[in-house]
Amino acid sequence: MMDDIKLIEVKEEIFSDNKQLADGLRQRLARNKTYLLNVMASPGAGKTSLILRTIDLLKDDFSIGVIEADIDSMVDSKKVATHGVKAVQIRTGGFCHLDAAMVTKGLDAMDLGGLDLIIIENVGNLVCPAEFDTGAVKNTMILSVPEGDDKPLKYPLMFTVSQALIVNKVDYLKTEDFDMEALKNRALGLNPGLDIFEVSCKTGQGIDKWVDWLRKEVKAFVT
């Protein structure tokens, strides 16, 4: 009976097709000298707050655009637009991540040749976004102190595919049972090349170090 059943590995095909699209997108970005940064985190970790801080400190250096992804709202894109940069909203219609095809649609709605830096605010999730290549030049994940220091144990892929880890809400360290050294050891055990930044989007602590890192990244890419 089992001989009559054909198994189709849809997930593998989806990932393969997405990888090809993502690789093609990176080539397009390189030709246009546009740096694409993918920001991933849990809901409430501070993605939008970090992006707004970053925009304010870099908008005099670079022309910036933002691709906002959400299941069904435009709240964050409206916030971004008030900071004087181009914002495109992608409603995923229930999908818990962005993929290269969705990002391509977002880029097509922008003047790609006129932008130095485009920041993706991915859907709030620590699972699916880590699995789908968006075509970004680099991936950044945000972990907020109230989430706990054990996230590398629970969501290892997210830490593995990211090049930068931003630990946000460090102003909560005095009130939370959070072991920063344990977090760093766990994260670097998964990804020894990970750059780690301790910040507070509320107070501004540590934001300059993160922005300096990104500034160097973008300058090296666009020149």
Predicted confidence pLDDT, tens digits, the chain (223 residues): 445 554 444 445 557 788 999 999 999 999 999 999 999 999 999 999 999 999 999 999 999 999 988 766 667 778 888 888 888 888 877 678 899 998 999 999 888 889 999 999 999 899 999 999 999 999 999 999 999 999 999 999 999 999 999 999 999 999 999 999 999 999 999 999 999 999 999 999 999 999 999 999 999 999 8
* Amino acid (one-letter) located at 140: T
Cβ pair 172, 204 in contact under 8 A: no
Architecture, CATH, for domain 11-222: 3-Layer(aba) Sandwich (3.40)
Distance CA(37)–CA(39), nearest Å, equals 6
Q: Under DSSP, is residue 204 helix (H, G, I), strand (E, B) or coil?
A: coil
d(CA 202, CA 53): 10
Q: What is the pLDDT of residue 31?
A: 95
Looking at residue 8, its pLDDT comes to 45
Helix (H, G, I), strand (E, B) or coil at 157: helix
Structure tokens at 184: 């760093």
* pTM score of the predicted model: 0.91
Q: Please, are residues 166 and 143 in contact by the beta-carbon 8 Å criterion?
A: yes
Pairwise CA distance, residues 76 & 79, whole Å: 5
Q: CA 79 to CA 56: how far, in whole Å?
A: 13
**Nearest CA to 118 among 136, 96, 91?**
136
DSSP code for 155: -
Bridge partners (DSSP) of residue 141 are: 40, 165
